[in-house]
Structure 1
């Protein structure tokens, strides 16, 4: 009796239509489903998939023992259950790609034990009771509760109630007779065990350690050790290496298992059935997905042309084989696409630094900070962003050596807490004004490095201006008010920055006196409405004090370092030359043909069409990380604008919910890859070794892109003749060995998981130009550091002057909009996430809860106390989250950590705290067209919700 019931309940989870057809005429289970006669079977299947296959973003039912006992699949719980299977001679069967602790698999195992108990009850009775009480009962109860919460059709709660009753109180079913039971038993897959009993036990499998590495766009790329057994991950560990202790992972390693093996992983290819963004899908096969993608791919190409196709900015995988880059390669093989330049992180600094120095290689080797006498972390927070595995190590060493460290930031960051001898709070977007006030003090006292400026710089004073430009356009004339009548004194700077004038004077004098002094800017200060000017102003300070090109100094700017060559995927030639700034993709959806050079379009005079197809692969920028979420949603919801959106991801993110076709990806543990140090800040190369098989029907994007390439006749051009991604990785690695002969052979690299370069010369930016100014020129048109830029001056743009001057920006502290929205809102990169990665991991929340930082003075005015719910709002949207009242944020400024998953309620109010509900997409930065996501005016009130 029990073996039969276990079988049919297992079949319910494994093969729903088959279960319906088989069970209708039979016994108690037949009675349960007789009332569904006449029900639309397709609609019933749609609801079944929503409940049990993850096709509805709003339904979350845990189906695995590991998910009931925690949040993580394929973990110790799963391994423990597999061990029990093996002890009892049971081999788990394929059940729709589910992990072996799936509820259906547990029922299969109980069916097997029940079958074995017919010949030898004592041999299996205790084991069956253990499985029922430790695993199955809790799983069934959780599933039944979930079904009762979400199900509409009465069938599902009824079946799950019957299953719950059977599992917890099997005696209730003892007197029930099933017609033709003997005949039914003979059809069971385990019928042989009814005659023969248990199978022979399988030997235990020892655990082993597999080396892999992080692949996300995290500031640190580190070695990870995964202990595995039975195809499960028992634990994740860092890798402490005495040769290089700084390659150990940061605190985020705590979340790797809980995040990437989370129970809410996407499971199967999906096609949208609801409105865009509604989060309702229908399950389809991989074959159907590839065919539909191929049809839309070709239709849009043939209807609108190459410029209609766009690969959205995404960095969920930041390794050699990146999904977005693979898609770009295929598109180039098929006629081209509209590409982008810039990044959401560093658009302004990467665009403007070459105007100053001629390139972005303005950083010194990380260990060179130990040669400084003063370090200024200007808007730089490496404790949380990491910014290269070794940066914090050397900063800690510097502090231990007594080198003074000053942190300039509106927020008393973790970096300030760890390192700062002095914290200077500053209003967001006013950094140029502070730099001007410091420059005024230095120049007024005659402390500038005049020789350095004379020999290597253009346009800092009247004597070093181009002949065809008025002399009063130089930086000195601006600084001393000779053109506008306003000297940029420390008092002037105080009125803008809120930094006291005396503090500015002392800071300037310390900076110039400490030579060499290292000024290290972060990327956050250039993600403002005037970000380009901030970069220029800090570079001016470095030049004015002669700290460029010397050990212990720092040229500011982007801060890249000359590094070893890394393996890279070739993207092929670009048949279509048009490019847009990545931040303006929503505008290209709406008004592509009207966009030209004034919008940052490169390669063509005007775009030829609107974006009609978006590939958003392994990224959450489509919605969550792009400014003004509500406006972005409105654009994407209109299917007449962008006609086809293809997404791949691990989870049903707010971006994935807008897909027309949504595909399940493979996590860091489920694929091979090669990873280089983040930002080039490191002399090593990492190997990502696959740790476990992909969950469910997840696939790394290479696999299905290759199938699409086959369908559209581009496979050979796409895959370069490699038969697998593994072969391709090896080929790219061997190509790199031609220029980096120090690298070992590929098999050795795979085994060790890392290679540390031995030949690592110290890099000091522009040391050659400093040593030989006559012949070693900068890569600028003048051959000098261009404090005054003739190219920028020639643009005749008020907000892009020829010199590094303070330019107020929209929603800065001087905007009249402050009368309505008096608080400046900034974001920061929290240690508990890598952008949006890990936000769905509940286990990380205790590390740093998502909440609004607000100064006590601003809280008191609004009647707010610690933990109160507050509404943060402007004309773009509203967020409701708890407040954290703290003096670690300066008055007049509030802060939300970026990357929280957008979660609107029925009124459209975000309840998680996604900062981009409030950021603006209407005023990109004037030159780079970058995102001004730290320049926002808002108001905060105590919530009435």
Structure 2
């Protein structure tokens, strides 16, 4: 505790908050004193706390409530997102919801409830919305769940087939101090985007990546940035060779680099024989014996837009230096996204430096703040969710397919699964109308279910497309324990503000529902929220030598025991492949996987291959939609969180999300800086504000995700126009492959034009129409 304010934390880091009547939102926000690089996203917190889009009271969609008043069951409705809401007292809203949960369970079974709750939610360990909801639903008899994440679904499925498990690669990457000391060359596919390193699930007290990049620059480490966007490596980074590659062609470039190593005998055959399996199959593909096409630099050059000699020269540089091959998470969020991950590992394996300090392979540097962090790996207190009696699940990005096609079969990681018939969607702590693709299709999918329930602090698009909207507190309005992966501290998250209007925390809402449904005691175990914090903390504290709860709470934080500063991914495996085997069938890195090959998926064979995506400059559709849109993560918020905050709002152009395009592409379309433009394809359209920059490759436009979806109906049955600039109005709702069923929202083919006339107003910065029950 300090005089500067009470401690708390967030996904963008720990900070201090104190009441300040003169400040926006009535609080002042200060970075944590131990943070060497505080996140700029802290600037969104105060201004969003009391924003007019806060949900003040429980609200029910008018059409749903009118049917209930007549004693009629709810039915699918395409009025979601278009009707006003009726505000109700808490008791009445919870009574209605309890009755609906009972109806669905009794008539359709627990499988008919989808406990979505996917998203970042609260950074707290107890008031973590997904954990609270899933625990509630498990005690109620279970629910259909989702698996993996939009960010990483493809990697989470394919990595176990290559290296035995995903967690090792994603959570135990070589540390930044090791990279700074030993790496001579970083070849960064997708870059190391600075905007992402301020974010970590649960937060971190100190952000280390900016300092590590500065240290690399001082040491003179070279970084080759391979991306259509120059901003994918910060300007302060080491001396950089920027290769502005054609989007979605990284795999072809990796294969050509690997071919050069093979053709010029620059690869490490001893490492391949000792630590990998299946190189002979991959080699036949590289040199063309398998299909008659050598994957050499001359082959890759027209695909990637990179000169053949530049490819060969880079391969030679990589072989002559201690080289780290990195691949951002963004590269697997495309069609055939398994391939750049697999090809990147194969390239690193041919260099023979996997397991050597400063060399090898990395996945996610610049994608998340804790990748490469050398903070402690302590297991933090957490709320048990119990066991879900329902075994049915879907890959997370297949929600629209599930709602639109109940009973339909699909492939997933070697299994044949069936979509359930969902009657009630329950969402707490997330915003599917941010994460998902082809949002007009998602609207149609949400219209197919009987009831949608959302817990939300704000009137987001997900709230506006729900039937029940239950107002929840923000982290500043409740107490919790906070800390993230590799965090140096456990934070005592003190309440810094009173709850907004009638908002309640998720625990209180679900406890009220559990009481009505007959398992209130099992859900609460007789504890208040504060008593739960003590219950979670006290059994945990001896493992790290933490003080008693009251002492910890008064101090405001506990610094966790430090872990090792230096470690290298796969170092133990490299030293002794037999004694420390990987969890693959061969015990080694599988450059060819007989398991994956045996699935028979044409969109994901058994080794890295170049497969043309449907949407890239080489596709037939590019004749109509000649620009490749990159829908990457925003720099001004976490996904869609706090889009109404000051930092996010200040970056808008003409009140809409900014789209960056090359001056030559703008000139060809008569577009000037700051103008409103229409971004469109056959799936839909959105409006955005034009920013001209030579820091994007010609033929490429960049529109970040997360602008709150603001659909305006169009005449003639056309898809709605998002007037606020959400790129998922135009992205495709297709899986990466039959193997992973992962998200492909990173790229889309589009056209951009000046918007003619006065653009329609943005409406999502104000609440929807709210009625009283007596108004009906």
Give the TM-score category using the shorter length.
0.7 to 0.9
What is residue 384 of structure 2 aligned with on the other side? 570
What is residue 235 of structure 2 aligned with on the other side? 417
1:595 shift after superposition? 3.0
What is residue 544 of structure 1 aligned with on the other side? 350
Matches within 5 A, 1:749-760: 749-760=552-563
Q: 2:143 aligns with which of 337, 340, 347?
A: 337
Q: Which structure 2 residue ranges, 5 or more long, are not aligned?
A: 64-78, 201-206, 366-370, 715-719, 758-776
Report if the CA contact (8 A) 2:659-2:703 is conserved.
yes
- Cα 1:459–1:390 change in 2 (3 A) is same
Residues in 1 aligned to 2:567 and 2:165: alpha-carbon distance in whole angstroms: 15
1:684 aligns with 2:489: yes
Report if the CA contact (8 A) 1:318-1:675 is conserved.
yes
Q: 2:6 aligns with which of 208, 211, 220?
A: 211
Matches within 5 A, 1:545-694: 545-557=351-363, 563-596=377-410, 598=411, 606-607=418-419, 609-621=420-432, 623-636=433-446, 638=447, 641-677=448-484, 680-694=485-499
Report if the CA contact (8 A) 1:308-1:613 is conserved.
yes
Report if the CA contact (8 A) 1:364-1:554 is conserved.
no
- Cα 1:483–1:605 change in 2 (3 A) is closer
Matches within 5 A, 1:515-530: 515=322, 517-530=323-336
1:920 shift after superposition? 0.9
What is residue 176 of structure 2 aligned with on the other side? 366
Name which one, 1 or 2, has greater alpha-carbon Rg.
Answer: 1
What is residue 314 of structure 1 aligned with on the other side? 119
Report if the CA contact (8 A) 1:824-1:937 is conserved.
yes
Report if the CA contact (8 A) 1:858-1:892 is conserved.
yes
- Cα 1:444–1:601 change in 2 (3 A) is closer
- Cα 1:613–1:600 change in 2 (3 A) is farther
What is residue 877 of structure 1 aligned with on the other side? 684
Give the secondary structure class of the aligned counterpart of 1:440: helix
Give the secondary structure class of the aligned counterpart of 2:279: coil
Residues in 1 aligned to 2:22 and 2:745: alpha-carbon distance in whole angstroms: 46
Residues in 2 aligned to 1:898 and 1:353: alpha-carbon distance in whole angstroms: 26
1:262 aligns with 2:51: yes
Give the secondary structure class of the aligned counterpart of 2:225: strand
Residues in 1 aligned to 2:583 and 2:54: alpha-carbon distance in whole angstroms: 48
Residues in 2 aligned to 1:886 and 1:404: alpha-carbon distance in whole angstroms: 25
Q: 1:928 aligns with which of 715, 731, 740?
A: 740
Report if the CA contact (8 A) 2:676-2:688 is conserved.
yes
Q: How many aligned residue pairs are there?
A: 708
1:605 shift after superposition? 5.1
1:900 shift after superposition? 0.7
- Cα 1:682–1:375 change in 2 (3 A) is farther
Residues in 1 aligned to 2:248 and 2:595: alpha-carbon distance in whole angstroms: 24
Give the secondary structure class of the aligned counterpart of 1:481: coil
TM-score (norm 1): 0.72
Report if the CA contact (8 A) 2:13-2:39 is conserved.
no
Q: 2:287 aligns with which of 470, 480, 495?
A: 480
What is residue 34 of structure 1 aligned with on the other side? none
Residues in 1 aligned to 2:287 and 2:305: alpha-carbon distance in whole angstroms: 20
1:455 shift after superposition? 0.5
1:903 aligns with 2:710: yes
Residues in 2 aligned to 1:319 and 1:521: alpha-carbon distance in whole angstroms: 30
Residues in 2 aligned to 1:563 and 1:539: alpha-carbon distance in whole angstroms: 25
Matches within 5 A, 1:325-474: 325-360=131-166, 361-362=168-169, 363-371=173-181, 372-386=183-197, 389-413=207-231, 415-419=233-237, 421-461=240-280, 474=281
Residues in 2 aligned to 1:788 and 1:581: alpha-carbon distance in whole angstroms: 24
1:711 aligns with 2:516: yes
1:869 shift after superposition? 2.4
Report if the CA contact (8 A) 1:881-1:912 is conserved.
yes
Report if the CA contact (8 A) 2:685-2:721 is conserved.
yes
Residues in 2 aligned to 1:756 and 1:579: alpha-carbon distance in whole angstroms: 38
Report if the CA contact (8 A) 1:209-1:228 is conserved.
no
What is the root-mean-square deviation in Å for CA atoms of aligned residues? 2.3
Q: Deviations over 1:152-200 (max 9, x none)?
A: xxxxxxxxxxxxxxxxxxxxxxxxxxxxxxxxxxxxxxxxxxxxxxxxx
- Cα 1:512–1:568 change in 2 (3 A) is farther
Report if the CA contact (8 A) 1:854-1:885 is conserved.
yes
1:903 shift after superposition? 1.8
Residues in 2 aligned to 1:752 and 1:433: alpha-carbon distance in whole angstroms: 54
Report if the CA contact (8 A) 1:535-1:556 is conserved.
no
- Cα 1:288–1:208 change in 2 (3 A) is farther
Residues in 1 aligned to 2:507 and 2:282: alpha-carbon distance in whole angstroms: 52
- Cα 1:352–1:257 change in 2 (3 A) is same
Residues in 2 aligned to 1:370 and 1:707: alpha-carbon distance in whole angstroms: 53
Give the secondary structure class of the aligned counterpart of 1:727: helix
1:271 shift after superposition? 1.2
Give the secondary structure class of the aligned counterpart of 1:413: helix
- Cα 1:398–1:754 change in 2 (3 A) is farther
What is residue 106 of structure 2 aligned with on the other side? 302
Residues in 1 aligned to 2:136 and 2:312: alpha-carbon distance in whole angstroms: 56
- Cα 1:536–1:748 change in 2 (3 A) is farther
What is residue 368 of structure 2 aligned with on the other side? none
1:288 shift after superposition? 0.9
1:688 shift after superposition? 1.7
Matches within 5 A, 1:217-256: 218=11, 220-227=12-19, 233-241=26-34, 245-246=35-36, 249-256=38-45
Give the secondary structure class of the aligned counterpart of 2:712: coil
Report if the CA contact (8 A) 2:333-2:736 is conserved.
no
Residues in 1 aligned to 2:414 and 2:265: alpha-carbon distance in whole angstroms: 44
Q: Deviations over 1:748-794 (max 9, x none)?
A: 33233333323302432211111112321111111011111111110
Residues in 1 aligned to 2:268 and 2:742: alpha-carbon distance in whole angstroms: 33
Q: Deviations over 1:78-106 (max 9, x none)?
A: xxxxxxxxxxxxxxxxxxxxxxxxxxxxx
Report if the CA contact (8 A) 2:230-2:696 is conserved.
yes
Which of the pair has the greater relative contact order for Cα pairs under 8 Å at 6+ separation?
2
Report if the CA contact (8 A) 1:208-1:227 is conserved.
no
Report if the CA contact (8 A) 1:670-1:692 is conserved.
yes
Report if the CA contact (8 A) 2:661-2:701 is conserved.
yes
1:862 aligns with 2:645: no
1:499 shift after superposition? 2.0
Give the secondary structure class of the aligned counterpart of 1:418: coil
Matches within 5 A, 1:735-884: 735-737=539-541, 740-761=543-564, 762-842=566-646, 844-847=648-651, 849=653, 850-884=657-691
What is residue 69 of structure 2 aligned with on the other side? none
Q: 1:698 aligns with which of 485, 499, 503?
A: 503
Q: Deviations over 1:112-153 (max 9, x none)?
A: xxxxxxxxxxxxxxxxxxxxxxxxxxxxxxxxxxxxxxxxxx
What is residue 944 of structure 1 aligned with on the other side? 756
Q: Deviations over 1:436-476 (max 9, x none)?
A: 11111112221112221110100112xxxxxxxxxxxx111
1:627 shift after superposition? 0.6
Residues in 1 aligned to 2:3 and 2:298: alpha-carbon distance in whole angstroms: 64
- Cα 1:229–1:722 change in 2 (3 A) is farther
1:717 shift after superposition? 2.6
